[in-house]
Amino acid sequence: MTTINIHKAKTHLSRLVDDAAKGKSFIIAKAGKPMVKVTALEAPSAKQARRLGFLLGQFLIPDDFNSMGSDEIERLFGGRR
């Protein structure tokens, strides 16, 4: 694995990040001391990322959902006792 000093990393960050995304991890060092390792993330594929509607049919929302607990909320925050 390649070790790069912080100044060179700042100068060539875009290229280094592209290389890391392709699997070429590297270490950034400051004054010769390794500080961080840069490596590619394992991003989910397009099929895995799709989450909309994944709980369809798993539960029901009550008809009075928007007014549930309104008496208690008004008592707590509306000043009614």
- Whether the predicted pLDDT of 81 surpasses 70: no
- Whether the predicted pLDDT of 8 surpasses 90: yes
Any idea what DSSP says for residue 68?
A: T
Any idea what DSSP says for residue 11?
A: H
Residue recorded with tokens 């950034």 = 28
- Residues 41-77 have pLDDT tens digits of 887 666 666 677 888 889 888 899 999 988 898 888 9
Which residues have CB under 8 Å from 64's CB, separation 6+? none
* CA nearest neighbour of 27 among 61, 55, 2, 51: 2
- The model's pTM is 0.53
The CATH homologous superfamily to which domain 2-38 belongs is YefM-like domain (3.40.1620.10)
Tokens of 79: 């000043």
Q: Are 16 and 38 in contact (CB under 8 A)?
A: yes
The domain limits of the chain are 2-38
